[in-house]
Amino acid sequence: MISFSVSQIAELVKGKLTGDGNRPILGAAGLLEASETDLSFFHNPKYIDDIISSKAAAILIPEKLNGELPIQNKTVIQVANPQWAFAQVLGIIEKIKRHHPQGIHPSAVISPAAKIGNRVAIGAHVVVESGTVIGDNTVVYPGCYIGEGSTVGSDCLFYSHVVLREDVHIGDRVIMHPGVVLGSDGYGFATVQGIHQKIPQIGKVVIENDVEIGANVTVDRATTGETRIGAGTKIDNLVHIAHNVHVGKGCLIVAQVGISGSTTIGNYVTLAGQVGITGHLTIGDGAIIAAQSGIMNDVKPKEVLFGSPGRPIKEAMKLQALYGKLPDLYDAFKAMKKKILPPTKE
């Protein structure tokens, strides 16, 4: 049972409480979905009107905007970062509500040559092959496969049906959601006399610490060498990362992105939904690629691109505005042409 008082929440997030600190908090929700026993938060001016309508027991608000918000008769907690404060509370609720597997299920198939750390949980029908190492406190949900010679760090969490093929190496505190496949063969073929001959893919995959990988993501093993995902990078669902790609630290890669082989992504790069990147490119540190963009050339550090092919975002938005005016411009051109040019003889 989840039960806090508003004053306890304020103490937890180190916030300044205004209003009734004795009100109970039994859950958390968005401003409009929240009930009289829920905690909510506000951080985006777009939703300022929702504060008035909200029934939340308490609302986390930013310190700097207090005087501008319609918070009369509301119980609020002022914090530096409402979204992060809300996330801290959600983390506590998650620990109360969610119970991960414990111990090793008798149906798991674990090679005698595998090394399993302390307090590791392995669910039903998991297969752990020879030479695998799994670090302390890692949780592996039912139906996962960990291939020969792979290593998994400490405090990792693998949800059901994660597949690590051979020679995949995972750092500490890595989270992988259902259906992730690491170490599938890269897409490599040599065409000989009209026949596509497979190029063996004998490299590895390396996932550094604190990476989170969404559902049904695929990361291909390198042809030779390694495919690498840098520390702290967060990958959304349905992303494909091809062989020999190197992704830097702290990147944000949103759903349905595709990164072709041997591309290097710098640190703290953002790739929005459905971005496609051709192979053998370099994307500089801090670059932002807007949704549905196609990138065919190297990108400089901190550039912001949009479109296909990707252009500087201000230029791309100007072009988008002009595209909408093309029918009127064409009609005007035809009328002008009719006035200037003599009629065509038949």
3-state secondary structure of 143: coil
> How do beta strands 304-306 and 311-312 pair?
antiparallel
Q: What is the mean pLDDT of residues 229-245?
A: 98
CB-CB contact of 216 with 193 (8 Å): no
Can you list the positions of beta strands (E) in 2-140? 4-5, 16-18, 24-25, 27-28, 38-41, 58-62, 76-79, 109-110, 115-116, 121-122, 127-128, 133-134, 139-140
Q: What is the pLDDT of residues 201-213, one digit of tens each?
A: 999 999 999 999 9
SS3 assignment, position 87: helix
Residue 345 scores a pLDDT above 70 = no
> pLDDT band for position 1 (50/70/90)?
low
Give the DSSP letter string of 116-139: E-TT-EE-TT-EE-TT-EE-TT-E
Of the candidates 173, 119, 102, 176, the one whose C-alpha atom is nearest the C-alpha of residue 146 is: 176
Active-site entry in 196, 243, 246, 280: 243
Mean pLDDT of 42-63: 91
Whether 144 and 138 have beta carbons less than 8 Å apart is answered as no
- Residue 291 pLDDT grade (very low, low, confident, very high; cuts 50, 70, 90): very high
**Cα–Cα distance, 81 to 89 (Å, whole number):** 13
Whole-angstrom distance, CA of residue 291 vs CA of residue 114: 43
The verdict on whether 243 is a catalytic residue reads yes
What is the average per-residue pLDDT within 86-99? 91
Percentage above 70 pLDDT, the chain: 97
Of 97-101, 105-109, 242-246, minimum mean pLDDT range? 97-101
Q: Model confidence over 140-155: pLDDT tens digits? A: 999 999 999 999 999 9
The pLDDT value recorded for residue 42 is 93
Q: How many Å apart are CA 186 and CA 222, to the nearest integer? A: 6
Q: Whole-angstrom Cα distance, residue 69 to residue 62?
A: 10
Domains, the chain, in order of start with CATH, read: 4-97 (3.40.1390.10), 109-312 (2.160.10.10)
Residue 346 has pLDDT above 70, yes or no: no
Q: How far is Cα 66 from Cα 190, in angstroms, rounded to an integer?
A: 63
How many Cα atoms within 13 Å fall on the side-chain side of residue 15?
A: 34
Tell me the mean pLDDT in the region 120-139: 98
